[in-house]
Amino acid sequence: MRTARSHGRSPTGSRHGISSLETVAALAILTVVVGSTMPLFVRHLRLLADSRHERIATQELANLAERLASLPAAERQAVLARPPLSDLARRRLPQAGLTARREPDDRYVVAISWDSPGRSRRPLELAVWLPAAGGAPAPEAFR
């Protein structure tokens, strides 16, 4: 005579373990969840990298603006001709390029671009107003 336990059932009549159908259903649900969240995870990693690049670029621009402000007006032109790119920016920003120019209103604009979608066409810029040569004060509108 066979007992209830020999057929995989407990004495109360419930089954032990899981069936193949339950396993397949659980795997299907898991696949849908992982498949739908993976693009979000990849996008998150790209945003982190973009944010890191932009933070480095912003710091690079601020450093160059401070350097321009610390130089006498006569020496600024040499920095404008070949703005220096730091080692950190050179290592971390792919194909980074730094430019600087002086506008007619004593405004200096420094810009940085790097190899990132949309960044080459629209570089990150920072403007700083510095006194004209000879230490003359800035125009009244900018005080």
Edge to edge, the sheet with strand 97-102 lists: 97-102, 107-113, 124-129
pTM of the entire structure?
A: 0.67
Q: How confident is the model at residue 14 (pLDDT cuts 50, 70, 90)?
A: low
To which residue do tokens 């405004």 refer? 107
pLDDT band at 143 (very low <50, low <70, confident <90, very high): very low
Q: Up-side HSE of residue 35: CA atoms within 13 Å toward CB?
A: 6
The maximal CA–CA distance of the chain, rounded, in angstroms, is 111
pLDDT digits (tens, 9 = 90+) for 76-94: 888 888 999 999 999 999 8
